[in-house]
């Protein structure tokens, strides 16, 4: 659903844009999984791109938002593959319930 290179870009973005307020471990802990287990990857993308960064939502490019999502998927145990996650990819319909849970 996403590649290692994309997840690496997402990690860099996370550090630059998100770590001011968030720890990476928050994106995969029990509370995160509780909140997102009934939703899809696309829902998470909509949420993040619609509400983050908190004081300037929508200020990253669509590509940057999916890169961050790829990083979060990696944190939650989703395997990397050969195709990047794209803003309109079929992978967005995938349930977010972590494969590890």
- Footprint of other proteins (CB under 8 A): 11, 19-21, 23-26, 29-31, 34-39, 47, 50-51, 53-57, 75
CA distance 26 to 24: 5
Burial class (CB in 10 A: 0-12, 13-18, 19+), 79: exposed
> In the complex, what is the shortest distance from the CB of residue 87 to other proteins, in angstroms, rounded to a whole number?
18
> In the complex, what is the shortest distance from the CB of residue 25 to other proteins, in angstroms, rounded to a whole number?
4
- Cis, peptide link before residue 4, omega less than 30° from 0: no
Q: Which pair of structure tokens corresponds to residue 25?
A: 């471990």
Q: Between 5 and 21, whose beta carbon lies closer to other proteins?
A: 21
DSSP secondary-structure letter at 40? Answer: B
CA distance 3 to 7: 6
> In the complex, what is the shortest distance from the CB of residue 50 to other proteins, in angstroms, rounded to a whole number?
7
Q: Between 29 and 83, whose beta carbon lies closer to other proteins?
A: 29
Q: Between 13 and 83, whose beta carbon lies closer to other proteins?
A: 13
Q: Between 58 and 83, whose beta carbon lies closer to other proteins?
A: 58
């Amino acid at each position: 659903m996403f590649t290692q290179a994309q997840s690496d870009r997402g990690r860099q973005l996370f550090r630059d844009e998100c770590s001011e307020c968030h720890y990476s471990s928050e994106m995969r802990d029990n509370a995160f999984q509780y909140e997102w287990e009934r939703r899809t990857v696309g829902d998470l993308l909509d949420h993040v791109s619609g509400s983050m960064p908190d004081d300037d939502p929508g200020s990253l490019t669509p590509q940057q938002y999916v890169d961050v999502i790829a990083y979060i998927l990696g944190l939650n145990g989703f395997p990397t593959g050969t195709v990047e996650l794209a803003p309109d990819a079929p992978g967005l319909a995938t349930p977010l319930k972590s494969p590890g849970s």
